[in-house]
Amino acid sequence: MKVVLIAAPIMDYNHEGQLIPKGMDALRACPSYGVCLLAAILQSKGYDVVLADLIAQGSANLWPYLADINDCSLVGIGTSTLSWPAAIDVIKAIRLIRNDVPIVLGGIHPTMFDGYILKKFPVQYVIRGEGEGALVSLCDNLENTKGLKHVPNLSWISNYGEIIRNPIAPAISGDELGSLPLPDYDSLPLKVYHYLPIESSRGCANDCSFCSSSYRRSWRSISAERFVDRLEGTMKYLDRTLSEEIQIVDDEFSTDPKRAIEIARIIRERRIKPKIRYCSRATDLLVDGFIENIADITSSVFVGAECGYNEGLKNIGKGITCQTLEAAAGKLEENHIGERAIFSFIVGFPWETRLEVEKTIHFAFRLISRYGISATIQWYIPLPGSRLWHKARSSQIFNESMYDRYGFDHDVYLFRGGLKLNPKEIWDISDMILAEEQQYHGQEKIMYSVPEAIIRYFPRELLSQEGHELANLRELSLSVH
């Protein structure tokens, strides 16, 4: 049985009307860990798998895979909310090639909206949540013409048009994660991606109100020894990348700092020298021995700071304070990796006025100037799956159909539907950030861009002009007399 697995890219239209890769997929930072892993798992079970990496290709064009789609038995598409519009284009293209091949979708977006997607789009199946076991079970059942009722995590449409949602299987344990084959990196194109992804744990112990991560308040980890085994195996493929670095794709690599310290110890013991990038929580950075042990193999550490005032951190449910964040930045500097740290901030949360936004920005500026860290500053845009988005959907502000079309970056309704500030305030704040950025003379200390929705629909020159449309119409009325 032949299966084509497709990694859908994040894409959008630019000012010239061209559909181009956006965000991390424009940079081609990492291949899709999930799709590459599923390819390897199916191959280990004897299935013929074609990996259609549209992220590397930079388009949703299926022409290079026309022959494979024509003779496969199943097409699988992995997609997030941001790549969902491209996934829709892929579905349409498949149906132009073949109307009979079954399509299965996986990823966080189909998981959340399986019923909506099965009703609206010409796909047969959605795998909700983890696909490592479910996809193999689906292939086995399709190949042997068994029924679908026992395929875990599967949503499908019966012959009577009824949507069936099979039960969710128990989550894959840490030991099981560690026993999975390494992702199919043999199929990756040479020197396209910067980093190779690897997983050391799955889930997050926290539940921040803006976050749409799949497994919140749950966490499973691969043992330190087994993870380093997988790390060594992945390092053999680093010559396929541009930067020869490893991206640990965990929500929080340092959730168990003692385990992270043990990983660093085993790496030193084996005398391997990976360059790793990972996410860490500020409280974990303060655990004795963590930074000291991990610093020499750290290429970049990403810290979710989010807010620069304690009330905002409380509203998010972050469980930390500004004092914690500043102490973490200080400890990074003490261990000479402050310049390798990126603190991420989000401004424009639904409760924020200009005052709160400026507090966050000034706090970010202080951390940069005092401790040498870098900072990303992004405007809040609600993502499905978060508690904030669910609240907005319940108030009929957003719904899932709004993510079917391109334009996430510049959709003025999605952007302004989640924040209080007006466009002039956003321009003023942008000017403040960009002026600070210029002080660093080309160093990437502040990563910020004016929101595309504001640039397109509220250009600065119009905001500085008084509207004359009503006066012009009244002038016409006066001419009648």
* Rounded-to-integer distance, Cα 239 and Cα 230, Å: 16
Read off the pLDDT band of 385 (50, 70, 90).
very high
Q: State the distance between the two ends of the chain, measured CA to CA, in whole angstroms.
A: 82
53-56 long-range Cβ contacts below 8 angstroms, 24+ apart: 53/7, 53/187, 53/188, 53/189, 54/6, 54/7, 54/8, 54/9, 54/86, 54/90, 55/7, 55/8, 55/9, 55/10, 55/21, 55/25, 55/28, 55/31, 56/28, 56/31, 56/188, 56/189, 56/192, 56/193
Q: What is the pLDDT of residue 479?
A: 83
Q: What is the pLDDT of residue 217?
A: 81
Q: What is the pLDDT of residue 234?
A: 97
Q: What is the pLDDT of residue 211?
A: 87
* Other residues' Cβ atoms within 10 Å of the Cβ of residue 165: 14
Residue 248: pLDDT above 70? yes
Query: pLDDT of 331-356, one tens digit each?
Result: 999 999 999 999 999 999 999 999 99
Which H helix or E strand runs over 375?
A: strand 374-379
Asked if residue 263 lies in contact with residue 278, where contact means CB atoms within 8 angstroms, the answer is no
Say what percent of the chain tops pLDDT 70. 100
Q: Per-residue DSSP letters for 83-134? A: THHHHHHHHHHHHHH-SSS-EEEESHHHHHTHHHHHHHSS--EEE-S--TTH
Three-state secondary structure string covering 330-344: HHHHHCCCHHHEEEE
Query: pLDDT of 288-337, one tens digit each?
Result: 999 999 999 999 999 999 999 999 999 999 999 999 999 999 999 999 99
* Rounded-to-integer distance, Cα 253 and Cα 198, Å: 11
The whole-number average pLDDT for the span 10-38 is 93
Q: What is the pLDDT of residue 45?
A: 97
The whole-number average pLDDT for the span 344-372 is 97
Query: pLDDT of 138-158, one tens digit each?
Result: 999 999 888 899 999 999 999
Domain with CATH 3.80.30.20 in the chain: 194-463
Residue 465: pLDDT above 80? no
The whole-number average pLDDT for the span 394-414 is 93
The whole-number average pLDDT for the span 241-254 is 97
Give the number of residues written for the chain.
Answer: 481
| Residue 202 tokens, joined | 């799955």
Q: What is the pLDDT of residue 205?
A: 87
CATH fourth-level superfamily of 194-463? tm_1862 like domain (3.80.30.20)
Asked if residue 87 lies in contact with residue 126, where contact means CB atoms within 8 angstroms, the answer is no
* List of residues 6+ apart from 44 with CB closer than 8 A: 181
Query: pLDDT of 80-124, one tens digit each?
Result: 999 999 999 999 999 999 999 999 999 999 999 999 999 999 999
- Burial bucket for residue 458 (CB in 10 Å: 0-12, 13-18, 19+): middle
Q: What is the pLDDT of residue 382?
A: 86
Q: Per-residue DSSP letters for 281-293? A: -HHHHTSTTHHHH
Residue 441: pLDDT above 80? no
Q: What is the pLDDT of residue 481?
A: 64
Q: What is the pLDDT of residue 36?
A: 97
* Other residues' Cβ atoms within 10 Å of the Cβ of residue 415: 23
* Rounded-to-integer distance, Cα 290 and Cα 273, Å: 17
Residue 464: pLDDT above 80? no
Looking up tokens 């091949």 gives: 101
Domain with CATH 3.40.50.2300 in the chain: 2-165
How far CA 444 is from CA of 21, 329, 440, in Å, comes to: 22, 17, 8
Q: What is the pLDDT of residue 467?
A: 79
| Residue 276 tokens, joined | 């790793």
Query: pLDDT of 156-186, one tens digit each?
Result: 999 888 999 999 999 999 999 999 999 999 9
The whole-number average pLDDT for the span 421-443 is 91
Asked if residue 339 lies in contact with residue 229, where contact means CB atoms within 8 angstroms, the answer is no
Read off the pLDDT band of 212 (50, 70, 90).
confident
| Residue 269 tokens, joined | 């013991």
Residue 126: pLDDT above 80? yes
Looking up tokens 């966080």 gives: 108
Mean pLDDT computed over every residue of the chain:
95
- Residue 345 pairs in a beta bridge with 306, 377
Asked if residue 75 lies in contact with residue 101, where contact means CB atoms within 8 angstroms, the answer is yes
Q: What is the pLDDT of residue 475?
A: 86
CATH fourth-level superfamily of 2-165? Response regulator (3.40.50.2300)
How far CA 65 is from CA of 70, 71, 73, 123, 436, in Å, comes to: 9, 10, 14, 19, 47
